[in-house]
A = this chain, B = another copy of it.
Amino acid sequence: MTNLYPNHSFEILKKAPDSRARLGKIHTPHGVIETPNYIFCGTKGAIRCATPREVKEAGAQIILSNTYHMMLQPGADLVAEMGGLHKFIGWDGPMLTDSGGFQIFAMGEGTVADEIKGRRNEAKPKMLEKITEEGAIFRSYTDGTKQMLSPERAMDVQHKLGADLIMPLDECPPYHLDREYSAKSMEMSHRWELRSLEKFKELNNGTQGLYGIVQGGVYEDLRLQSAEFVSSHPFFGTAIGGSLGVTIDQIYDEVVSWCMHNVPEERPVHLLGIGMIRDIFAGVRYGIDTFDCVIPTRIARHGWALVKGEPRERINLRNAQFKNDPTPLDETQDCYYSQFSRGYLNHLIRANEALAMHILSLHNIATMTRLMREVREAIADNSLDALEMVWRGEVTKIKMAA
């Protein structure tokens, strides 16, 4: 059988003795991603108020862009004409694009994803018109035109964008879905994934690695079945998608755990759209290799800083308590942006200065890349539990190796 991914590989460097945690490297045409790692969201081809150089200096190895947004503005053809997404936005490292499905379905269902995806200022009317076997019919939020996103179009658009890692279109149903609808949705997603794979083979030029997405909602038998389905087809990596549950226990000890039973060890595993600090520790132990979430940059826009050792993970710089606080955001962090004082950030937020968003976005990215680096070191050292205690603020003064 032909290798669909001649320029991609996943290397496992070490497995933890007491969990499924592992150290690895994903090789892509634009470089290596050390795993476990975090993928930062450059939704519309831009990380909020931060340039690629600044994001890279903050330690990021890979970013993603949303196919949905890029296909509507500026359009996949234009990006291709401009030399592809890497060149267009000025990021020369590894990139991922999603399929575009999440935004369409989340918009159609009117779920909290509007808030999660930071679309508070965009048109509010439901844009999803219909889901058929062929694909999803929706209206463009930029010009109102009727559009079809089919599995084939999602592949075509992502081919034009040219990211290193890409996703097939799947239906992304809302959380409160019964078993029957979940099963039907999963089955359609599987058919869509096969169509994606066929289209991928047709377009494949060796520059992209296609993931399969495990669906099945919060139902054990469906998750097992879906993971087995995805594993039986030649996807480069495995993504865990769909409704994962609500509590952290449900997400990891149930849904993720079920999936991992039937996921091939030799493929990298991506958990779609989740990534608080506590998620990293829980997910890594179940063998998750990469995470993505808008959280680090989204909360930055609302004045929050992620802080190592803070029991609630983050602090709100808008609070009056920080008004005259000369303490740096995190002086233990080797990052220029982390050295600004909490008092100055409080001032910038109150004065409505966009510089707050810039500083906090980069500080939060630096915090997450530091977390991932320390997680990798801890897997190497078998000290993940101790590291988690420190990040959760349960150990006050353990000095971690830099």
A residues with a Cβ closer than 8 A to B are: 44-51, 53, 69, 73-74, 78, 81-83, 88-90, 121, 323-324, 326, 336-337, 339-341, 343-344, 346-348, 350-355, 357-359
| B337–A51 touching, CB < 8 Å | yes
Q: Closest residue to A69 on the B side, CB-wise?
A: B351
In the complex, which residue of chain B has the Cβ closest to the Cβ of A121?
B352
A78, A326, A343, A351 — which one has the most chain B CB atoms within 10 A of its CB?
A: A351
Which residues on the B side are within 8 Å of A78 (C-beta)?
A: 323-324, 343
Residues of B with C-beta under 8 A to A350 = 73-74
Contact of A82 among B47, B53, B324 (CB under 8 A): B324
Residues B81 and A344 in contact, CB atoms below 8 Å apart = no
Q: Cβ of A355 and Cβ of B48 under 8 Å apart?
A: yes
> Known contacts A44-B353, A73-B350, A351-B45; is A358 also within 8 Å of B50 by CB?
yes
- A10-B53 Cα distance, complex, nearest whole Å: 38
Contact (Cβ within 8 A) A358 B49: yes
Q: Using Cβ atoms and an 8 Å threshold, which residues of chain B touch A50?
A: 355, 358
Q: Which residues of B contact A121 (CB under 8 A)?
A: 352
A44, closest chain B residue (CB): B351
Contact (Cβ within 8 A) A89 B344: yes
Chain B residue contacts of A355, Cβ below 8 A:
46-51
Q: What residue in chain B is nearest A340 (Cβ atoms)?
A: B90
Q: Which residues of B contact A359 (CB under 8 A)?
A: 51
Q: How many angstroms between the C-alpha atoms of A326 and B84 in the bound complex?
A: 12
A323: B residues at CB distance < 8 A: 74, 78
Please, which residues of chain B bring their CB within 8 A of the CB of A346?
74
Give A48's nearest chain B residue, CB to CB.
B354
* Smallest CB separation, A281 vs chain B (Å): 31
A343 — which chain B residues lie within 8 A by C-beta? 74, 78, 82, 88
Chain B contacts of A88 at CB under 8 A?
341, 343-344, 347
Q: Shortest beta-carbon distance, A6 to chain B, in Å?
A: 29
Chain B nearest Cβ from A305, distance in angstroms: 15
Pick the 9 closest A-B CB pairs, nearest first: A46-B355, A49-B354, A44-B351, A74-B347, A46-B353, A73-B351, A49-B358, A82-B343, A49-B355
How close is A279's CB to chain B, nearest CB, in angstroms? 27
A45-B344, A48-B355, A358-B358 are known contacts; what are 17 more A-B pairs with Cβ within 8 Å?
A45-B348, A46-B351, A47-B355, A49-B354, A49-B358, A51-B337, A74-B346, A74-B347, A74-B350, A78-B323, A82-B324, A82-B326, A82-B344, A88-B343, A89-B344, A354-B357, A354-B358
In the complex, A331 Cα to B231 Cα: how many Å? Answer: 48
A51 near B324 with CB under 8 A, answer no
What's the least CB distance linking A58 to chain B, in Å?
13
- In Å, the complex CA distance between A157 and B104 comes to 54
A49 to B54, CA, bound (A): 13
**Pairs A–B under 8 Å by Cβ, sample size 6:** A45-B347, A46-B353, A48-B353, A49-B357, A74-B323, A88-B344
Instruction: Indicate if the CB atoms of A46 and B348 lie closer than 8 Å.
Output: yes
Q: Which B residues lie within 8 Å of A326 (CB)? A: 82-83
Instruction: Return chain B residues, CB-CB under 8 Å to A336.
Output: 51, 53
Q: How far is the CA of A291 from the CA of B383 in the complex (A)?
A: 57
